[in-house]
Amino acid sequence: MRITAAIVREKAAPFVIDALELSEPRAGELLVKIVASGMCQTDLHARDGYFAGPYPMVYGHEGAGVVAAVGAGVKAVAPGDHVVVSFPWCGACPNCKRDMISHCMNSRQLKMRGTRADGSTLMRQDNGAPVYSAFFQQSSFATYAIANERHVVNVRKDAPLELLGPLACSGQTGAGAVLISIRPKPGDAIAVFGVGAVGLSALMAARIAGCDPIIAIDVHDRRLMLARELGATHTLNHSGRPDVVAEIRKITGCGVRFSVETSAQPSVLREAVDALMPAGTCVLLGSARSGTEVRLEMPFLQNGRIVRGVIQGESCPQRFIPELVEYILQGRMPIDRIVTFYDLADINRAARESTAGTTIKPVLRMPH
Ligand SMILES: NC(=O)c1ccc[n+]([C@@H]2O[C@H](COP(=O)([O-])OP(=O)(O)OC[C@H]3O[C@@H](n4cnc5c(N)ncnc54)[C@H](O)[C@@H]3O)[C@@H](O)[C@H]2O)c1
Ligand SMILES: [Zn+2]
Ligand SMILES: [Zn+2]
């Protein structure tokens, strides 16, 4: 079928809106009419060649839409259902077999290679040339996408579908890191380093969990103001402040029980660890480039402190995303406060404003 998509033809090139031909869903797959798709830093990192992926590619991995058709054997969803398309996992590796699907050992290929697991692509240009079109097994910067039944989440039809795409990655990454990975108790102190889409999702979850204090650290005052409205009890602007750790200790007395790192900078990760009380845990969410290293002090860690990386909030999306939808409907996770809508045609402006930090979470509306 004929679709419209945003294509990146070579490394770091702008998105180009063009018509493409999309194949039919195979057994176990479904066709989703994308209503809106969030844009995540990972789309832009991939566009810019961080993961050495091929071109031309259609990115997008926070798709939300309506099931338009299903392939043979699909049981979990039916045409007309509202769905969010989440991250891919293989189902066969040692981590998938232990229900640790966000740490799937084949996820890098399934996310970045732009093809199905068997190497096939789903979109074609008019001259017949293939387009890499299974980014995160969805390529949602398009009017329609094909997804595997295993990776889609059925959501309530009375929920605001246009807002739900970001739950597929940044939303569940931040919220899951708190509600699934570290599970704070009411009154636990937490510091969130970097309050973009991921950090603010962690912060909203920390408020749901009853953390206190909730300390937000960023370099943008506007983001910090929003963090306070969404639940931060204290905010610290990192620019021009040499000792954020001392300020956190001043607020808490002994340091925080939990810290969440989303800036992807080694010096900030070090601070997020140094801010911990004994037996505290730092969760690393920010995506640094391969080869990035950080120094940590051994005796400090020895006192029960834990540093751990987390992918996708260790969520099982079919369980966790409906839970997040409930929080949204109850007004406890107001993600509309962090979203800015753009038409697909304005995708390059969305990317620029996201990189500049003026937009927190761009969401692209598809032309239908
Ligand atoms: N672990 C995962 O599964 C996963 C999933 C999605 C995104 N990510 C990664 O998480 C990170 C955050 O994503 P995002 O969409 O929120 O991006 P973002 O760029 O909007 O957020 C990062 C924030 O860090 C802030 N920052 C920069 N320097 C800082 C400093 N010195 N001190 C404090 N804050 C500072 C920025 O101002 C920004 O607000 C990215 O690296 C992204 O690639 C990881
Ligand atoms: Zn993402
Ligand atoms: Zn796996």
- pLDDT per residue over 171-229, tens digit each? 999 999 999 999 999 999 999 999 999 999 999 999 999 999 999 999 999 999 999 99
Least confident of 190-194, 240-244, 254-258: 240-244
Number of H helices and number of E strands within the chain?
Answer: 12, 17
d(CA 243, CA 240): 9
Contacts of residue 249, Cβ cutoff 8 Å, sequence gap at least 6: 255, 275
User: Whose CA is closest to 280, among 300, 305, 303, 253?
Assistant: 305
CA of 18 to the centre of ligand 2 (A): 23
Whether the pLDDT of residue 312 is over 90: the answer is: yes
Segment 105-118 mean pLDDT? 97
- Please, which pLDDT band fits residue 241 given cuts at 50, 70 and 90? confident
- Choice from 218, 222, 226, 261 to test ligand 1 binding pocket (greatest atom count within 8 A of CB): 218
Q: Within 10 Å of residue 293's Cβ, how many Cβ atoms?
A: 6
Q: What is the mean pLDDT of residues 27-53?
A: 96
| Position 242 pLDDT exceeds 90 | no
| Percent helix, percent strand, percent coil in the chain, to nearest 5 | 35, 25, 40
> Average pLDDT in the 336-361 region?
97
For a pocket test of ligand 1, which of 263, 265, 268 has the largest count of ligand atoms closer than 8 A to its C-beta?
Answer: 263
Q: How distant is the alpha carbon of residue 313 from its chain centre?
A: 9
Centroid of ligand 2 to alpha carbon of 320 (angstroms) = 16
Determine the distance separating the centroid of ligand 2 and the alpha carbon of 95, expressed in angstroms: 20
Atom of ligand 1 at shortest distance to CA of 309? 1
Burial class of residue 332 in the structure, from the number of CB atoms within 10 Å of its CB (0-12 exposed, 13-18 middle, 19+ buried): middle
As a whole number, mean pLDDT of residues 125-141 equals 96
Ligand with minimal distance to 98 CA: 3
| DSSP code at position 211 | -
Which residues share a beta bridge with 342? 364
Contact 153, 321 (CB under 8 A): yes
Cα 318 to middle of ligand 1, angstroms: 25
Say whether pLDDT at 128 is over 90. yes
Q: What is the dihedral of CA 289, 41, 207, 314, to 10 degrees?
A: -60
Mean per-residue pLDDT, 297-326: 98
Q: Which of 262, 269, 283, 292 to mutate to test the pocket of ligand 1 (most atoms within 8 A of CB)?
A: 262
Distance CA 243, CA 245 (A): 5
**What is the 218 CA–ligand 1 centroid distance (Å)?**
10
Rounded to whole angstroms, how far apart are CA atoms 197 and 333? 12
Average pLDDT over residues 280-296: 96
Position with higher pLDDT, 136 vs 52: 136
Report how far ligand 2's centroid is from the alpha carbon of 222 (Å).
Answer: 23
Q: Which amino acid is at 304?
A: G
pLDDT tens sequence across 50-89 = 998 899 999 999 999 999 999 999 999 999 999 999 999 9
Q: Hey, whose CA ends up nearest to atom 36 of ligand 1? A: 194
How many whole angstroms from 271 Cα to the centroid of ligand 1? 15
Q: Given the CA of residue 239, which atom of ligand 1 is nearest to it?
A: 31
Coil/strand/helix, residue 222: helix
Q: Hey, how many other C-beta atoms are within 10 angstroms of the C-beta on 92?
A: 11
Does the pLDDT value for residue 1 go beyond 90?
yes
| pLDDT of residue 297 exceeding 90 | yes
- The alpha carbon of 263 and the centre of ligand 2 are apart by a number of angstroms equal to 14
The residue whose CA is least distant from atom 40 of ligand 1 is: 286
User: In this model, does residue 240 exceed pLDDT 90?
Assistant: no
Poorest-pLDDT segment among 16-20, 225-229, 239-243, 291-295:
239-243
Q: Enumerate residues lining ligand 1, CB below 6 A.
A: 40-42, 169-170, 173, 193-199, 217-220, 223, 238, 262-265, 268, 285-287, 310-312, 357
Task: Give the residue from 294, 298, 267, 93 showing the smallest Cα distance to 194.
Answer: 267
Within 13 Å and on the Cβ side, how many CA atoms surround 20?
A: 29
Span 251-270, average pLDDT? 98
Q: Compute the mean pLDDT over every residue in the chain, rounded to the nearest whole number.
A: 97
Alpha carbon distances (Å) from 49 to 11, 13, 63, 122, 347: 6, 10, 22, 21, 18
